Amino acid sequence: MLSPATEEDLAGILAERSEPLDVQGGGTRRVGASERERLSTAALTGITLYEPGALTLVARAGTPLAEIEGALAAEGQMLAFEPMDHRPLLGSEGEPTIGGVVAGNVSGPRRVQAGGCRDSLIGVRFVDGTGTIVKNGGRVMKNVTGYDLAKLMAGANGTLGVLTEVSFKVLPKPEAVASVLLEGLSVADAVRAMSKALASPFEVSGAAHAPVGVDGAPVTMIRVEGFGDSVAYRAEKLRNLLSEFGPVAVETREGRDGGVGTAAGWRWARDALALAEAEGDVWRVSVKPTDAPKAVDALDADRILLDWGGGLIWAAVPPGTDARARLKGIPGHATLVRADAESFKRLGAFEPESVPLAILAKKLRQQFDPKGILNPGLMG
Amino acid sequence: MEMPTPDPGILAKKGRVVARLSDVLPKDAVISDISETRAYECDALTAYKCPPLCAVLPASTEEVAAVLKICHEEGVPVVPRGSGTSLAGGALPTADSVILGVARLNEVLETDCDNRFIRVQTGRTNLSVTGAVESDGFFYAPDPSSQLACAIAGNIAMNSGGAHCLKYGVTTNNLLGVTMVQMDGTVVEIGGAHMDAGGYDWLGLICGSEGQLGVVTEATLRILPKPEGARPVLMGFSSNEVAGACVSDIIKAGVLPVAIEFMDRPIIEICENFAKAGYPECEALLIVEVEGSPEEIDAQLGVIMQIARNHDPVELREAADSDEAGKIWLGRKSAFGAVGQVADYMCLDGTIPVSALPHVLNRIEEMSQEFGLKVGNVFHAGDGNMHPLIMFDANKPGDLETCEAFGAEILKLCVEVGGCLTGEHGVGIEKRDLMDVQFAAADLEAQMRVKDVFDPAWLLNPAKVFPLKASEHRRSAAESAAA
Ligand SMILES: Cc1cc2nc3c(=O)[nH]c(=O)nc-3n(C[C@H](O)[C@H](O)[C@H](O)COP(=O)(O)OP(=O)(O)OC[C@H]3O[C@@H](n4cnc5c(N)ncnc54)[C@H](O)[C@@H]3O)c2cc1C
């Protein structure tokens, strides 16, 4: 495994290289398995700038996510987009890195309110497939100077360049959290309830539904965050708003270390733990929220979890199932997240893009990775 | 401002180009008479003017595709145009270009409150998007001060922001999908009503690309439920430093106001004379606005006012009702107009790290002495997006040039302290030649390679964003390939 300790070393490697590489951060969610040599950014570590008063943090790509979250927590701040930890779901080991999070645009439940990883990302440095070091964006949160290549790199999964440094706009950590809970809803009712909550002025920061909750029964969770009184007020308003869907409970215990409570509950949703125990392949499906019931029917999955008010569906299906075929006709896209190598090869991790976009994607890769050495084939 | 020499070959075939365009558009949608093309000779950066070869006003995506296909075949540059409110010269024509205006594409195509989006044609104005969902209790968050006039098309091209983007983000954070026509007439659909578009982040790339990658004809926009209420406070301070420290303390305290606006003494005075908003006499004013229920607002303002008191304000005024709230905002909202009454002005748009605020304001003041031009500062302090307004006299020979030189120095300072040239107005022609202050050659090269992918002949919105020198060999290669 290649593990350069500086951006210059990385640039040197890529300038010389002609054989394909598997690019990774901490290696906690390798998509598919390959025999290629691996290139890891795990040795490019360190927070290079953190200014709490300006809500900005800059770190090298290999910095462990845990280190970043720790530094932010010490100042009462957080990454707004709540990245998941893939290890339980994938049964993988290693240490998630911030660069890997950005490369995959990994975004958790708070996406409905604060946006995804790409929305918090304000700058990148990367090395393209020719060994050229490129900077885009910076450390200020409003910046429209030139094209936004930072967003392009978020979710490019290392196919256009290897990230070496990333900058974020961060947010204050809320003082209090409450989960408004509904039990026993069908998927259709749950989506209706979540839409209603998300269309209210009560600043919902999470809306998830599991047909099989922790205790086996369907549970719908709506989250509000902020100052203590405000959270209590908004949770109460939501309780009234949602009363047509049955009895509503409000959970305010935190339960940070494994106990029952809001932190544990939202970590459970964030990491798709409802599916960790389930057998088979795992798909991540993005649809219009009100299409979720239809999509869930079409998927006919063994285990389901809805996040983003229904806009994100996690589904566990029998090994080798082509979920995209089942979803035909429903706008959106499906990503294969957990499967054996053969299935990844046959189905591809990512939904094929439309013809004109696939042409643009190919040309883009030719520009940024003309030798075809950065995770070739991963994104088309 | 240097612009490429118009291609005489194109000027010579104006008749044919106009005839071909007239074949695919209604009669009144092709404007070629010189007396009428003047209406498109500039945007809100009025110092630069150039009538286009002709202007077209297509009313559908198909018509846009037909226009682009013809221009592509003829090798004629195209300048997309929304409402022409760009402050960066983003919609400035060249003499050999066709202006493609989207003003007739102004329909609402779909509103969906359950899924919280609206789909519109991009010629629709920003404010009228909110207008279309207001009665359902929703709004479209990005709110540039020009929102009555500017179009969603221009907002997407410039990734526009507004006073409330500290909480809600800018255009790119509120864009779910687009229909875009490429220069060769190919129509692409990107994203849609689902929350994250698949594949590469094309939306992120298109947003802020200043009309150089394609013409956006339709957009799916995220709409948000209106907050229960909002209330501003006004704070006056005895120095810019103290006001800056107060901003930083508010942010650190964990309250996230929807807006923190900053005005310095020259702007306070000009606004007060113009709008009679009752602003106090002081060095720096902050307007801080929070949202929620009345009790939530009380609680948040409680925290904010306490922080302000720790900084010895000369004035601290909470709006008691909507009249008073309106009054607090009145001066700020009329700032550009008020300055326009007393002088010609150039509005800059650099962003700086919030911590550099006092240093940068002091340096600007020193430079103001050196250049002999007055400057006022009014800006979004929460995110460091400055708007220095340099005042000059357009009738005085040399004044515009001095003003531009002064502006360039301010923008260099923004970059030097870790910021950027433009926070929301875009590069256009205005900041084009300063791009290499912020970017190394390889950084610009990477961006131009993206342009190569979308528009290999470099026909879309020519001579913008990239320094002419940097793009020279690409443009001439494309030209000789066409010839
Ligand atoms: C008084 C005043 C206040 C302002 N306040 C703000 C503010 O608070 N925040 C802010 O961000 N901006 C502000 N602006 C700047 C300006 O309003 C914005 O940049 C706005 O988004 C431009 O929209 P427009 O429709 O007028 O675009 P235009 O000026 O017509 O064009 C702007 C750019 O968009 C491109 N373009 C237009 N249509 C398309 C299309 N269909 N497809 C692709 N590209 C296209 C053009 O080529 C050009 O590069 C202000 C301007 C004025 C005059």
**Class of B230-335 per CATH?**
alpha beta
Out of B56, B122, B147, B158, mutate this one to test ligand 1's pocket (max ligand atoms within 8 Å of CB): namely B158
Tell me yes or no: is domain A273-347 CATH 3.30.70. yes
Question: What pLDDT score was predicted for residue A257?
Answer: 64
What letter would DSSP give residue B483? -
CB B174 within 8 A of CB B168: yes
Q: Which one of A54, A150, A331 has the shortest CB-CB distance to B354?
A: A54
B165 lines ligand 1 (CB under 6 A): no
Q: Is B295 in Cβ contact with A229 (below 8 Å)? A: yes
Residue A330 forms contact with B (CB below 8 Å): no
Distance, CA of B155 to CA of B219 (rounded, Å): 11
**Index of the ligand 1 atom closest to the CA of residue B122:** 41
- Please, which residues 29-48 of chain B have a Cβ atom closer than 8 Å to chain A? none
Q: Helix H segments across A104-227? A: 111-114, 117-120, 149-153, 187-198
Give chain A's mean pLDDT.
Answer: 95
| Contact partners, residue B392, CB within 8 Å, separation at least 6 | B343, B344, B345, B346, B373, B399, B400, B402, B403
Q: What is the pLDDT of residues B76-85, one digit of tens each?
A: 999 999 999 9
Calculated CA dihedral for residues A50, A55, A58, A59, nearest 10 degrees: 80
Q: Give the gap in angstroms from C-alpha B12 to the nearest C-alpha of chain A.
A: 33
Residue A343: count of CB within 10 angstroms of its CB: 18
- For chain A, helix (H) and strand (E) counts, in that order, are 15, 17
B462 lines ligand 1 (CB under 6 A): no
Q: Is B380 in Cβ contact with A142 (below 8 Å)? A: yes
Model pTM? 0.97
* ipTM of the predicted assembly exceeds 0.95: yes
Question: What pLDDT score was predicted for residue B75?
Answer: 96
Q: Is A116 in Cβ contact with B443 (below 8 Å)? A: no
Question: What pLDDT score was predicted for residue B212?
Answer: 98
Spell out the domain ranges in chain B. Answer: 108-225, 230-335, 343-424
B351 CA from centroid of ligand 1 (Å): 18
Q: How confident is the model at residue A256 (pLDDT cuts 50, 70, 90)?
A: low
DSSP A360-373: HHHHHHHHH-TT--
A149 CA from centroid of ligand 1 (Å): 21
Q: Is A54 in Cβ contact with B248 (below 8 Å)? A: yes
Q: Is A363 in Cβ contact with B453 (below 8 Å)? A: yes
Contacts of A361 in chain B (CB under 8 A): 199-200
Q: Quick check: A148 pLDDT over 80?
A: yes
Q: Which one of B188, B194, B225 has the shortest CB-CB distance to A286?
A: B194
Question: What pLDDT score was predicted for residue A29?
Answer: 80
Q: Is B384 in Cβ contact with A141 (below 8 Å)? A: yes
Question: What pLDDT score was predicted for residue B10?
Answer: 97
Architecture of domain A7-172 in this structure? 2-Layer Sandwich (3.30)
Question: What pLDDT score was predicted for residue A258?
Answer: 63
| Contact partners, residue A325, CB within 8 Å, separation at least 6 | none
Spell out the domain ranges in chain A. Answer: 7-172, 176-270, 273-347
Q: Quick check: A33 pLDDT over 70?
A: no
CA B266, B272, B278, B281 dihedral sign is: positive
Contacts of B295 in chain A (CB under 8 A): 229-230, 233
Question: What pLDDT score was predicted for residue A32?
Answer: 53
Fold of A176-270: Alpha-Beta Plaits (3.30.70)
Q: How confident is the model at residue A350 (pLDDT cuts 50, 70, 90)?
A: very high
Closest Cα to atom 35 of ligand 1: B211
Average pLDDT, consecutive stretches of 10 residues, N- to C-terminus, chain B (483 residues): 92 98 98 96 94 98 98 97 97 98 98 97 98 97 94 98 91 98 98 88 98 98 96 95 90 88 94 91 95 92 96 94 90 89 93 91 95 94 92 94 96 97 97 97 98 97 96 87 76
B61 lines ligand 1 (CB under 6 A): no
**Index of the ligand 1 atom closest to the CA of residue B214:** 43
B410 lines ligand 1 (CB under 6 A): no
Q: What is the pLDDT of residues B48-68, one digit of tens each?
A: 999 999 999 999 999 999 999
Q: Which residue has the tokens 């979710």?
A: A155
End-to-end CA distance of chain A: 24
Residue A3: count of CB within 10 angstroms of its CB: 16
Instruction: Give the residue, A186 or A30, on which the prediction is more confident.
Output: A186
B261 CA from centroid of ligand 1 (Å): 21
Distance, CA of A170 to CA of A54 (rounded, Å): 9
Distance, CA of A72 to CA of A78 (rounded, Å): 5
Residue B441: count of CB within 10 angstroms of its CB: 10
Q: How confident is the model at residue A231 (pLDDT cuts 50, 70, 90)?
A: very high
In angstroms and rounded to an integer, the radius of gyration of the C-alpha atoms of chain A is 21
Question: What pLDDT score was predicted for residue B253?
Answer: 87
Q: Which residue has the tokens 């109460």?
A: A236
B375 CA from centroid of ligand 1 (Å): 24
3-class SS at A106?
Answer: coil
Distance, CA of A114 to CA of A120 (rounded, Å): 8
Q: Which of A153-162, A182-191, B111-120, B354-363 has the lowest mean pLDDT?
A: B354-363
Distance of CA B465 to the CA centre of its chain: 14
b/e code B338-366 from CB counts within 10 Å (16+ = b): bbbeebbbbbbbbbbbbbbbbebbebbee
Residue B161 forms contact with A (CB below 8 Å): yes
Out of B98, B105, B150, mutate this one to test ligand 1's pocket (max ligand atoms within 8 Å of CB): namely B150
Q: Write the Ramachandran bin of A205: left for phi over 0, alpha for psi from -120 to 50, otherwise beta.
A: alpha
CB B86 within 8 A of CB B428: yes
Distance, CA of B404 to CA of B408 (rounded, Å): 6
What strand order describes the sheet that includes B187-191? B108-112, B117-121, B215-222, B175-181, B187-191
Residue B207 forms contact with A (CB below 8 Å): yes
Q: Give the gap in angstroms from C-alpha A142 to the nearest C-alpha of chain B.
A: 5
Contacts of B137 in chain A (CB under 8 A): 199, 201
Q: Is A132 in Cβ contact with B199 (below 8 Å)? A: no
CATH numeric code, B343-424: 3.30.70.2740
Q: In terms of C-beta density within 10 A (0-12 exposed, 13-18 middle, 19 or more buried), how is residue B398 classed?
A: exposed
* Beta-carbon-side half-sphere exposure of residue B310 (alpha carbons within 13 Å): 12
Percent of chain A with pLDDT over 70: 98
* Beta-carbon-side half-sphere exposure of residue A371 (alpha carbons within 13 Å): 16
Question: What pLDDT score was predicted for residue B116?
Answer: 97
Residue A232 forms contact with B (CB below 8 Å): no
What letter would DSSP give residue B270? H
Structure tokens at B201: 């982040």
Fold of B108-225: 3.30.465
User: Which has the closest alpha carbon to B195: B169, B213, B172, B175?
Assistant: B175
